[in-house]
Amino acid sequence: MSILQRLERELGADRIVGPGHERLEDYSRDESPLPETYVPECAALVETTEQAAAVLRICLEDKVPVTPRGAGSGMVGGALPVRGGVVLSTEKMTAIKEIDPNDLVAVVEPGVVTGRFQEAVEAAGVFYPPDPASLEYCSIGGNAATNAGGPRAFKYGVTRDYVLGLEVALMGGEVLRCGRRTAKGVTSYDLVAGFVGTEGTFGVITEMCVKLVPKPPAAATVLGVFADVAGAGVAIEALLKHGVRPTVLEIADKASIEAIRAKSRYRFPANAGAIVLCEVDGDADAMERAMERIGMSFDELGALDVLAATEPAERRNVWEARRLISSSLKEAYRIKVNEDICVPRGRIVQMLARVDQIAADTGIPIAVFGHAGDGNLHTNLLSQEDPADPAVQKRMWAGAKQIFAAAVELGGTLSGEHGIGLTKRPYVELEQSPQLIEWQHRWKALWDPSGLLNPGKRLPERQKRCTE
């Protein structure tokens, strides 16, 4: 019996997207900049933990590769079935099982869209801070798999900081529950940390217990417009040095502003060369003081314009514009290789200068925006050339490699939030020692000795040891 027949028999034919089905193509791509697509043999749209476990059991028995997938919003090809086989999609596991404002926890299935979850949580008077820019369509399970960040990570931390407990379906069909629902707890090794951010290479998350926090009573947005990105970088470092800790501290350069100018309800000044976007939250008095301090710093540092927005509609306009940057650049250019390097906070200005130099040296325009307060910059290498031309792709990725190398040289890392997946896998060795890579292979082999779970991702091929 073929894998398709076995899965249809186990899950029911209506949960399997097989050959000839118009939707099968959907599982061959994600939001990564790769021109290639990878069509799986079939996709299994599981609705329960038992079904997810059954898929993993059958795939191991039949020695078929299996690639977990959330909403497909990943930017590094982590959910692409590069070796064919089965895509295990959690898009139909969408239950919010519990929101408990007293315990400050919620229990959710992985397919819940992050933005919907935030709305549900806020309706219950509590708050779930992780806010990836794709929150309108990404799923919370995918956020956990990649340890997604977002603008509010500056004050509140990333997804890992909110995952207390997990249920995970393992290769072969075992189901493991780990972690806790208490605020503290140290009785087991931190296996939760071992699953969050491993991009579906260790197991498939089927349920999450997440931490909530009290909902801030109010929030406001301060936007500083600067003549150029160097001025914006200096403003960010100055705020950080003077201990100003907003919720959000974002940057966007001229190319990013131009990409959203026509769509934005906020009217950017004509000479805007860069913006710094801050958010403050808390009680009204503290917020007022923080806004004043940020506004004054921006003025002192030569801002062309400062907007302080407290009205929800005005704030929404600014945020909508920010969230549109990535998709607008993608619409405007035929190729957009978007990266998410992260450097130590004190090195932001240096990193911005290095990106400028790389753009000049390679002749590739690079738009920069992102979570500058965390040192986490989205560098977007842009081109109007043919994405299917291998020579063009080679040149773009050579430019990306220079950015990775510069980030590592400044004490930073290849990825602050998108993950390694497929696209950054060839560059891992720029940052990690052979020893570190080998230990990760050993760790991976503990959960997936057959190597069939999300193969071809994250780790470079294992080096042959000299004794072998």
Least spacing, CB of residue 299 vs ligand MLT, in Å: 27
Nearer to ligand MLT, 134 or 201 (CB): 134
Dihedral over Cα of 311, 367, 198, 142: its sign: positive
Nearer to ligand MLT, 326 or 402 (CB): 326
Least spacing, CB of residue 326 vs ligand MLT, in Å: 3
Least spacing, CB of residue 324 vs ligand MLT, in Å: 9
Measured CA to CA, the distance from residue 158 to residue 348 in angstroms comes to 20
One-letter identity of residue 389: D
Cβ atoms 83, 455 nearer than 8 A: yes
Nearer to ligand MLT, 75 or 209 (CB): 75
Nearer to ligand MLT, 127 or 137 (CB): 137
Least spacing, CB of residue 380 vs ligand MLT, in Å: 7
Least spacing, CB of residue 323 vs ligand MLT, in Å: 7
b/e sequence 242-275, b meaning 16+ C-beta within 10 Å: eebebbbbbbbbbbbbebbeeebebebeeebbbb
Cβ atoms 373, 249 nearer than 8 A: yes
Binding region for ligand MLT (CB under 6 A): 75, 133, 325-326, 338, 370, 378
The SS3 of residue 273 is coil
Least spacing, CB of residue 103 vs ligand MLT, in Å: 30
Judging by beta carbons within 10 Å of its beta carbon (0-12, 13-18, 19+), is residue 14 exposed, middle or buried?
exposed
Measured CA to CA, the distance from residue 159 to residue 178 in angstroms comes to 17
Nearer to ligand MLT, 340 or 448 (CB): 340
Cβ atoms 303, 235 nearer than 8 A: yes
Q: Please name which of 450, 205, 227, 230 lies closest in space to residue 349, comparing C-alpha atoms.
A: 230
Please provide the DSSP assignment of 200-261 as one string: TSS-EEEEEEEE-EEPPSEEEEEEEEESSHHHHHHHHHHHHHTT---SEEEEEEHHHHHHHH
Least spacing, CB of residue 396 vs ligand MLT, in Å: 15
Nearer to ligand MLT, 74 or 141 (CB): 74
Least spacing, CB of residue 449 vs ligand MLT, in Å: 34
Q: Please name which of 279, 277, 253, 251 lies closest in space to residue 266, comparing C-alpha atoms.
A: 277
Least spacing, CB of residue 119 vs ligand MLT, in Å: 20
Place of tokens 């497909």: 72
Nearer to ligand MLT, 55 or 260 (CB): 260
Nearer to ligand MLT, 8 or 339 (CB): 339
b/e sequence 445-464, b meaning 16+ C-beta within 10 Å: eebbeebbbbbbbbbbebee
Measured CA to CA, the distance from residue 111 to residue 99 in angstroms comes to 16
Nearer to ligand MLT, 338 or 383 (CB): 338
